[in-house]
Amino acid sequence: MGSKNKLRRFRENETFSNVVQPERKDLTDQEFPLKGNWNRDFFKKDQPIVLELGCGKGEYTVGLAKRFPEKNFLGIDIKGARFWRGAKTALEEGITNAGFMRTQIELVDKAFAENEVSEIWITFPDPQIKYKRTKHRMTNPHFLERYKTVLKPEGLMHLKTDSEYMHGYTLGLLEGLGHEILYAHHNIYINHDAPKEVVEIQTFYEKQYLEIGKPITYIKFRIN
């Protein structure tokens, strides 16, 4: 994507009513105004809140919002030029229960109040395979603790990835820490019991993976 395109998308994001772009200091140096007030002040609907972390182009945020109008969905990514597509689509199609926020994933507990979130989706994250990158892995113990802070007691976590390494790492971690694994499969497209929203909503890159026969994995779990 050219720099002109990126700048245009950044400018458009600033005009979108379904996009929030706080500065880092807005989250770390003071109480963020939307924290605890997302339903009242942003969605204007009192419904369960579902996050997509590292949402990319926002295919899952928009797809889930269309499928589940009784829930509010927020895609979070630091790359606003990517989620511009999802935000624009939601506005064009009048999908009022989908929004986007530009910020770092590690600040999720600064942006949401305790028990404010009902579900979290992590879709195709960078597996950060090198050991020195473990701290950046989105299912490492430190991230799980942050998610637990904002999730309701019975809140759900979803991990969908093309990385066998990420799938195996997360399964082992969850079992080792005593978290509750509700569903896990190493290739959901050959499993007839896979949840429909997992196989019927596909990201841009996922479709490319499927064309070359790459297995897509999925885990649904609770953090104890």
Torsion sign over Cα 112, 90, 68, 183: negative
Least Cα distance to 142 among 102, 109, 175, 111 occurs for 109
Q: Which long-range contacts (CB under 8 A, 24 or more apart) does 39-44 make?
A: 39/72, 42/99, 43/72, 43/96, 43/97, 43/99, 44/96
**Radius of gyration of the CA atoms of the chain, in A:** 17
Distances (CA, A) of 21 to 3, 8, 49, 103: 19, 16, 18, 7
Active site residues: 126
